[in-house]
Chains A and B, each alone.
Chain A
Amino acid sequence: MLKKQNIALWLLIAAVPLVAVLPLPDFWIAQLNYIGLYALVCLGLVLLTGVGGLTSFGQAAFVGIGAYTTAWLTLNTGMSPWLTLFVGLGLTAVSALVVGLITLRMSGHYLPLATIAWGLALYYLMGNLDALGKYDGLLGLKSLSIPGLNGDIDIGQGRLFFVLTWAILLAGAIALLNLLDSRPGRAIRSLKGGTQMAEAMGISTFRYKVTIFVIAALFASVAGWLLAHFQRTVNPSAFGLKMGIEYLFMTVVGGVGYVWGAIVGAGLIKLLDDQLQVLLPALIGTSGSYEVIVFGIALVLVLKYLPDGLWSIVARKMPSPPRKVDWQNAPDLPARSKPAQGDLVLQVDKIRKQFGGLTAVNDISFNIAAGQIVGLIGPNGAGKSTTFNLITGVLSKTSGQVLFRGSDISALPSRDISRQGMARTFQHVKMIPDMTVLENVAMGAYTRGRSGVVSSMLRTNQAEEQSLMKEAQRQLERIGMGAYLHEQAGNLAMGPQRLMEIARALCCDPALLLLDEPAAGLRHKEKQALAAVLRQLQGEGMSILLVEHDMDLVMDVCDHLVVMEFGTLLTQGTPAEIQASPAVRAAYLGTEH
Chain B
Amino acid sequence: MDFSIASILLLDGFTNGAVYALLGLATVLVFTVTRVIFIPQGEFVAYGALTLAMLQTGKTPGTVWLLLILAVVAALMELLERWRHHGNAVRAAQSALKTLAFPAIISVLSIWAAPQQFPLGVQAALSVAIVTAFGPLVYRVAYQSLEAATPLVLLIVSVGVHFAMTGLGLLFFGAEGFRNPPFWDERFTVGPLALSGQTVIIFVVSLALIVLMWLYFEKSLRGKALRATAVNRTGARLMGISSHTSGQLTFLLAAFIGALSGLLIGPTTTVFYDSGFLIGLKGFVAAVIAGLSSYPGALLGALFVGVVESFGSFWASAFKEVIVFTLVLPILLVRSLRSGHSDEDH
Residues of A within 8 A of B (CB): 49, 53-55, 57, 98-99, 102-103, 105-110, 112-114, 116-118, 120-121, 124-125, 128, 194-196, 205-206, 245, 248-249, 252, 284, 286, 288-300, 303-304, 307
Closest B residue, CB atoms, query A109: B151
Q: Tell me the B145-179 residues at the A interface (CB within 8 Å).
A: 145-146, 149-153, 155-157, 159-168, 170-171, 174-175
Q: Once the chains bind, are A55 and B342 in contact (CB under 8 Å)?
A: no
Q: Which residues of chain B have C-beta atoms less than 8 A from A196's C-beta?
A: 345
Q: Once the chains bind, are A300 and B142 in contact (CB under 8 Å)?
A: yes
Q: How far is the CB of A121 from chain B (nearest CB, A)?
A: 4
- In the complex, which of the residues A102, A252, A284, A299 contacts B332, with contact meaning CB atoms closer than 8 Å? A102
Q: Once the chains bind, are A206 and B322 in contact (CB under 8 Å)?
A: no
- In the complex, which of the residues B155, B157, B333, B339 contacts A55, with contact meaning CB atoms closer than 8 Å? B155
Q: Which residues of chain A have C-beta atoms less than 8 A from B339's C-beta?
A: 105-106
- In the complex, which of the residues A106, A125, A298, A300 contacts B322, with contact meaning CB atoms closer than 8 Å? A125
Q: Give the distance in Å from the alpha carbon of A125 to the alpha carbon of B278 in the complex.
A: 15
Q: Once the chains bind, are B342 and A293 in contact (CB under 8 Å)?
A: no
Q: Once the chains bind, are A99 and B174 in contact (CB under 8 Å)?
A: no
Q: Secondary structure of the A side of the interface?
A: helix
Q: Once the chains bind, are A194 and B163 in contact (CB under 8 Å)?
A: no
Q: Once the chains bind, are A117 and B326 in contact (CB under 8 Å)?
A: yes
Q: Give the distance in Å from the alpha carbon of A561 to the alpha carbon of B13 in the complex.
A: 67
Q: Once the chains bind, are A117 and B163 in contact (CB under 8 Å)?
A: no
Q: Once the chains bind, are B281 and A116 in contact (CB under 8 Å)?
A: yes
Q: Once the chains bind, are A195 and B163 in contact (CB under 8 Å)?
A: no
Q: Which residues of chain A have C-beta atoms less than 8 A from B155's C-beta?
A: 55, 109, 112
Q: Once the chains bind, are A106 and B335 in contact (CB under 8 Å)?
A: yes
Closest B residue, CB atoms, query A128: B318
Contact of B340 with A by CB under 8 A = yes
Q: Give the distance in Å from the alpha carbon of A293 to the alpha carbon of B274 in the complex.
A: 13
Q: Once the chains bind, are A292 and B166 in contact (CB under 8 Å)?
A: yes
Contact of B186 with A by CB under 8 A = no
Q: Once the chains bind, are A296 and B164 in contact (CB under 8 Å)?
A: yes
Q: Which residues of chain B have C-beta atoms less than 8 A from A103's C-beta?
A: 332, 336
Contact of B288 with A by CB under 8 A = yes
Q: How far is the CB of A211 from chain B (nearest CB, A)?
A: 16
Q: Once the chains bind, are A121 and B325 in contact (CB under 8 Å)?
A: yes
- In the complex, which of the residues B146, B150, B167, B319 contacts A304, with contact meaning CB atoms closer than 8 Å? B146
Q: How far is the CB of A295 from chain B (nearest CB, A)?
A: 5
Q: Give the distance in Å from the alpha carbon of A196 to the alpha carbon of B344 in the complex.
A: 9
Q: Give the distance in Å from the alpha carbon of A347 to the alpha carbon of B152 in the complex.
A: 43
Q: Once the chains bind, are A121 and B326 in contact (CB under 8 Å)?
A: yes
Q: Which residues of chain B have C-beta atoms less than 8 A from A113's C-beta?
A: 37, 284, 288, 328
A-B pairs, 4 with minimum CB distance: A296-B164, A296-B163, A299-B160, A293-B167
Q: Secondary structure of the B side of the interface?
A: helix
Contact of B285 with A by CB under 8 A = yes
Q: Give the distance in Å from the alpha carbon of A238 to the alpha carbon of B97 in the complex.
A: 45
Given A102-B329, A107-B343, A124-B319, also A299-B152 (CB < 8 A): no
Q: Which residues of chain B have C-beta atoms less than 8 A from A249's C-beta?
A: 160
Q: Once the chains bind, are A128 and B322 in contact (CB under 8 Å)?
A: yes
Q: Give the distance in Å from the alpha carbon of A117 to the alpha carbon of B324 in the complex.
A: 9
Q: Give the distance in Å from the alpha carbon of A108 to the alpha carbon of B288 in the complex.
A: 13
Q: Give the distance in Å from the alpha carbon of A291 to the alpha carbon of B339 in the complex.
A: 41
Contact of B321 with A by CB under 8 A = yes
Q: How far is the CB of B298 from chain A (nearest CB, A)?
A: 14
Q: Give the distance in Å from the alpha carbon of A195 to the alpha carbon of B341 in the complex.
A: 11
Contact of B219 with A by CB under 8 A = no
Q: Once the chains bind, are A304 and B145 in contact (CB under 8 Å)?
A: yes
Q: How far is the CB of B119 from chain A (nearest CB, A)?
A: 32
Q: Once the chains bind, are B329 and A117 in contact (CB under 8 Å)?
A: yes
Q: Which residues of chain A have C-beta atoms less than 8 A from B164's C-beta?
A: 292-293, 295-297, 300
Q: Once the chains bind, are B321 and A114 in contact (CB under 8 Å)?
A: no
Q: Which of A54, A98, A124, A205 gathers most chain B CB within 10 Å?
A: A124
Q: Give the distance in Å from the alpha carbon of A289 to the alpha carbon of B273 in the complex.
A: 12
Q: Once the chains bind, are A195 and B151 in contact (CB under 8 Å)?
A: no
- In the complex, which of the residues B146, B160, B284, B342 contacts A195, with contact meaning CB atoms closer than 8 Å? B342
Given A103-B336, A117-B285, also A290-B171 (CB < 8 A): yes
- In the complex, which of the residues B156, B166, B318 contacts A248, with contact meaning CB atoms closer than 8 Å? B156
Q: Give the distance in Å from the alpha carbon of A552 to the alpha carbon of B212 in the complex.
A: 61
Q: Once the chains bind, are A114 and B165 in contact (CB under 8 Å)?
A: no
Q: Which residues of chain A have C-beta atoms less than 8 A from B166's C-beta?
A: 292, 296
Q: Which of A120, A195, A304 gathers most chain B CB within 10 Å?
A: A120
Closest A residue, CB atoms, query B35: A109
10 pairs, A vs B, C-beta closer than 8 Å: A103-B332, A109-B152, A116-B281, A117-B328, A205-B342, A249-B160, A291-B167, A295-B164, A296-B163, A297-B160
Q: How far is the CB of B19 from chain A (nearest CB, A)?
A: 19
Q: Once the chains bind, are B160 and A296 in contact (CB under 8 Å)?
A: yes
Q: Once the chains bind, are A99 and B329 in contact (CB under 8 Å)?
A: yes
Q: How far is the CB of B178 from chain A (nearest CB, A)?
A: 17
Q: Which residues of chain A have C-beta atoms less than 8 A from B149's C-beta?
A: 303
Not counting A121-B326, A249-B160, A293-B164, a sample of 12 additional A-B residue pairs whose C-beta atoms are within 8 angstroms of each other reads A57-B159, A102-B332, A107-B343, A108-B152, A109-B152, A117-B326, A118-B328, A194-B345, A245-B163, A288-B175, A303-B149, A303-B160
Closest B residue, CB atoms, query A127: B318
Given A103-B336, A128-B319, A286-B174, also A118-B152 (CB < 8 A): no
Q: Give the distance in Å from the alpha carbon of A299 to the alpha carbon of B153 in the complex.
A: 11
Q: Give the distance in Å from the alpha carbon of A105 to the alpha carbon of B339 in the complex.
A: 8
Q: Which residues of chain B have C-beta atoms less than 8 A from A99's C-beta?
A: 329
Contact code string B298-334 (vs A, CB < 8 Å = 1, else 0): 0000000000000000000011011001111100110
Q: Give the distance in Å from the alpha carbon of A249 to the alpha carbon of B327 in the complex.
A: 27
Q: How far is the CB of B330 from chain A (nearest CB, A)?
A: 8
Q: Tell me the B7-57 residues at the A interface (CB within 8 Å).
A: 37, 39
Contact of B346 with A by CB under 8 A = yes
Closest A residue, CB atoms, query B343: A107
Q: Once the chains bind, are A300 and B321 in contact (CB under 8 Å)?
A: no
Q: Which residues of chain A have C-beta atoms less than 8 A from B170's C-beta?
A: 288-290
Q: How far is the CB of A192 from chain B (nearest CB, A)?
A: 9
Q: Which residues of chain A have C-beta atoms less than 8 A from B165's C-beta?
A: 296
Q: How far is the CB of B153 from chain A (nearest CB, A)?
A: 6
Q: Tell me the B214-258 residues at the A interface (CB within 8 Å).
A: none
Q: Once the chains bind, are B152 and A55 in contact (CB under 8 Å)?
A: yes
Closest A residue, CB atoms, query B153: A303
Closest B residue, CB atoms, query A116: B281
Q: Which residues of chain B have C-beta atoms less than 8 A from A288's C-beta?
A: 170-171, 175
Q: Once the chains bind, are A110 and B332 in contact (CB under 8 Å)?
A: yes
Q: How far is the CB of A284 from chain B (nearest CB, A)?
A: 7
- In the complex, which of the residues B159, B162, B281 contacts A120, with contact meaning CB atoms closer than 8 Å? B281
Contact code string B120-155 (vs A, CB < 8 Å = 1, else 0): 000000000000000000000010011001111101
Q: Which residues of chain A have C-beta atoms less than 8 A from B319's C-beta?
A: 124-125, 128
Q: Tell me the B250-292 residues at the A interface (CB within 8 Å).
A: 278, 281, 284-285, 288, 292
Q: Once the chains bind, are A248 and B171 in contact (CB under 8 Å)?
A: no
Q: Which residues of chain B have C-beta atoms less than 8 A from A289's C-beta?
A: 167, 170
Q: How far is the CB of A101 from chain B (nearest CB, A)?
A: 8
Given A106-B332, A114-B332, A117-B329, also A296-B343 (CB < 8 A): no
Q: Which residues of chain A have C-beta atoms less than 8 A from B285's C-beta?
A: 117
Q: Once the chains bind, are A118 and B321 in contact (CB under 8 Å)?
A: no
Given A118-B325, A286-B174, A300-B157, also A105-B341 (CB < 8 A): yes
Q: Which residues of chain A have C-beta atoms less than 8 A from B322's C-beta?
A: 121, 124-125, 128
Q: Give the distance in Å from the alpha carbon of A296 to the alpha carbon of B142 in the complex.
A: 11
Q: Which residues of chain B have C-beta atoms less than 8 A from A294's C-beta?
A: 167
Q: Which of A49, A105, A114 gathers most chain B CB within 10 Å?
A: A105
Given A289-B170, A296-B167, also A252-B156 (CB < 8 A): yes
Q: Which residues of chain B have C-beta atoms less than 8 A from A125's C-beta?
A: 319, 322
Q: Once the chains bind, are B160 and A114 in contact (CB under 8 Å)?
A: no
Closest A residue, CB atoms, query B327: A117
Q: Which residues of chain A have C-beta atoms less than 8 A from B168's C-beta?
A: 293
- In the complex, which of the residues A98, A105, A112, A300 contacts B160, with contact meaning CB atoms closer than 8 Å? A300
- In the complex, which of the residues A55, A105, A120, A121 contacts B156, with contact meaning CB atoms closer than 8 Å? A55
Q: Which residues of chain B have C-beta atoms less than 8 A from A108's C-beta?
A: 150-152, 344
